[in-house]
Amino acid sequence: MTLGHKTLLKITGKGNIVKLVIFYTAFMSTSLWGAVCKMPDSEFLNLATFTGIDAFYERGIYGQNVNVANMELNVPDTLRDEYSVFLKDVPYSVYYPSEYTTERIGIHQNQTLAVMAGYNASYPDQDASTGLAYKANYTAVQVGENSIIFSSDKLIISSYEKFFSNGTEVISSSWKDSSERTYMAGTVLDSLAHKNPSVVFIAAAANDGEEGSGTVCSPYKNMNVISVGGLDDASYFKTIAPTSSYGPNDFYNPRTKEIVKGVVSAVDISAPGTVYTIKADETMGNVSGTSFAAPIVSSAATLMLSYSKSAGLDASSRDARLVKAVLLNSASKPEGWDNGCRIAESVEVGGKTYNNVLSTGQALDYHYGAGILDAEEALAEYENFGSTSFLDEISLSDSLFYNFEADSDNLTLSATLCWFAGSYVEDITYDYYEEISSIDADTSYFSNLDLRLWHADSDGELELIAQSVSEYNNDEHLFLDLGESGSYTLEVLFKDMVYGEVDKETFALAWNLSSPQIPEPAYAAVLFGIFAAAFAARKRLGK
């Protein structure tokens, strides 16, 4: 059986319902691809091809030897064939805490799991019966139960604690909690992720975008995660869906309990947020929501880990920070993408002042994150692990420099820096209902790292070209046309501490040079104005 195209995804909207179902009907005269969406013109779009995931299949990579947990409020409904048919031959296991009175079943878990794992050997259309990473090892995890007693923070967190530490390598979640406790619960999940960097944690951003910014809250408002926004099928996945939650979120200091308003770029990356599948009423149709975007990105991460093992890459290539850096760095830029980059009239570095420096203090676009998932480009960059992507360690107040050559004019540079929020939760206090009432995170810390780009002029002197210097994010991102060939240097600076104390910080850096990109008109106009001014007027001044 060949799998040049993959599973039929389905995404269901506002209740964070993610549905993936393999579609085959007698009235269709032609075979459908696996992951598809019915577009406004009634054509079916192959989502595996659209996202570049097909590139992994061409190398025989389908998720082999990777352990994935799909952690949702429910477990799959195996009682109704019309919902479970696309998981018929998936050898997944089911986990729900023993404290729960019973398994809670629901179609949402079927749909999200099937996006990644779906397989049915007897289904008439094999292209439409397999998940995007169907050869991985899957566990369907129930983390909540809809009752006052059992849908508690204590049980939810205990489930995450188990799967962060039992050999799971990818955790995918498409549910949300927007309660007042989300910052504390998010700090707990950040602590688990920080302690277990071999686990890639991915979550849906949530579907509250129509309520405004600061609505990213799935599963909690945490930072050591890849948070996924959903693209709109009405625009052929060129724009973010109106319901997709977006930032900026507030920043929470778990030591002081202080909040800084509107400074976190909470969405990391975006992916298609609509799939065509079986709906809850047992009819076929599109379903939409970030719940479906998240397992698409989870599939890409799973395929990356599978490729790493197949190719014999060093284990550090599977570090969550490294995987995140590559996924973000390889994302494509949609029209209107804006991470706040503007020309700073003057920037002081080392006692010298540099004029007309491209600078961002927010790192990522508030809606799209680094951009749209491009798994083919991610694989291409991942194959260069060890040269243009790697883990490194830096001491407080130090800088590390990485040199590269641009051998022609107008090459496009993408560079991404990722690290963890240093969350350490030593104790959790729960109330009568087993909800979090307080946490002991007094040894937590948050490092402030910056990313700069330098260019050597004709005299060999370094000139500052661009910088990403967001204080309250744990990633930095640069995307620009270099304008001229020559010698360049990326600098990673451990500037200071936002809170807490630590001597050294581990980070992932990924960068890529590509042929000149032609953005959509709105973004191209911005770039042209920025770089015309920058290269015409840039001057270094002694001080």
Could you write out the three-class secondary structure of 41-97? Answer: CCCEEEHHHHCCCHHHHCCCCCCCCCEEEEEECCEECCCCHHHHHHHCCCCCEEECC
CATH number at residue 344: 2.60.120.380
The residues of the chain scoring below 70 in pLDDT are 1-35, 79, 99-105, 125-129, 145-151, 284, 516-543
pLDDT tens-digit series, residues 296-343: 999 999 999 999 999 999 999 999 999 999 999 999 999 999 999 999
221 plus 364 within the same structural domain? no
Same domain, 247 and 354: no
Domain match, 114 and 80 both: yes
> What is the domain count for the chain?
2
Task: Please identify, among 255, 279, 310, the residue that sits at the C-terminal boundary of a domain.
Answer: 310
Same domain, 373 and 286: no
Is 30 inside any structural domain? no
324 closest CA partner among 66, 509, 192, 171: 509
Q: Which residue from 10, 4, 38, 39 is spatially nearest to 22, judged by alpha carbons?
A: 10
Of 290, 214, 226, residue with least CA distance to 252: 214
| Burial (0-12, 13-18, 19+ Cβ within 10 Å), 98 | exposed
Shared domain check, 341 and 292:
no
Let me know if residue 507 belongs to a domain.
yes
- 235-238 CB contacts, 8 Å cutoff, 24+ apart: 236/39, 236/40, 236/45, 237/37, 237/45, 237/50, 237/272, 237/372, 238/334, 238/335
Q: Supply the range of the domain harboring residue 473.
A: 331-541
Q: What is the mean pLDDT of the chain?
A: 85
The string of DSSP codes covering 363-405 is -SBTTTBT-B--HHHHHHHHTTBTTTEEEEEEETT-EEEEEEE
Q: Are residues 209 and 340 in the same domain?
A: no
Q: Three-state SS across 263-315?
A: EECCCCEEEECEEEEECCCCCEEEEECHHHHHHHHHHHHHHHHHHHHHHCCCH
Q: 305 and 337 share a domain?
A: no
257 and 382 share one domain: no
Is residue 319 included in any domain, yes or no? Answer: no
Q: Does pTM top 0.75 for this prediction?
A: yes
For 217-241, the pLDDT digits (tens) are 988 899 999 999 999 999 999 999 9
127 and 216 inside one domain: yes
Using an 8 Å Cβ cutoff, are 34 and 119 in contact?
A: no
- Please name the helix (run of DSSP H) or strand (run of DSSP E) that holds residue 204, with its range, or none: strand 200-204
Phi, psi (rounded to 5 degrees) for 394: -135, 145
